[in-house]
Structure 1
Amino acid sequence: MSGKHAIHLFKRAQRGLFAGKMKMFGNKISEEGGNKTRRCWNPNVQKKKLFSEILGESFKLNVTTHALRCIDKAGGLDKYLLNTTDKDLNSLRGQQIRKKIQSAMHTTTQE
């Protein structure tokens, strides 16, 4: 590794929109002795039904609360998926929905 941390995405993140949030690891330190115990923190994942205005349909997705805030900030699911880069999106399901949106936009502009 050339000074950068290797990013390992777990499969669950590929099936939803996690907006870069991953499982994190660290130590729980006891108050009295300062003993360290390994533990992990999971992303706050919610099952949500998100509506695509361009496609006119809803998608059931596992979404982190951070991704929900990003979607709200972008102005909706369509704008979030279209304006987010592949590197930041990091989701196969998100890329599939983006391709559907792009093809729907392409067909409406041709007509």
Structure 2
Amino acid sequence: MKKVYITMQKDLMDKINDLEAQVSEHEADIQNKDELISALDQEIKEECIKKDLQIEQLQRQIDEMSSDFAEMLRQTLSKMQERIELANVQWDNDDDNENMLQKS
């Protein structure tokens, strides 16, 4: 009877040791996964910061290009107004010359 008891005790101790080894292995896996999650979380945060900076830079470029385009349109409008005024002056001068010729 004692031999059966000792055998059962040995079997149970082996099983306990195996289970404790599995627990240790699983705890190590959990720790590795937690470290991986932490690293990925940090990587995501860094990527978000980079993207935010890139968005800010692109927004500044958009604003600058918009300002440049607005200035270009103002210059174009100014030149067109000058040409229209010049054409009106020439038109008026041509009309005056025709009137003078007709009166002569």
Is the TM value for this pair above 0.5?
A: no
Higher relative contact order (CA 8 A, sep 6+): 1
Higher Cα radius of gyration = 2
Structure having the larger proportion of residues in strand: 1
TM-score bucket (shorter structure): under 0.3
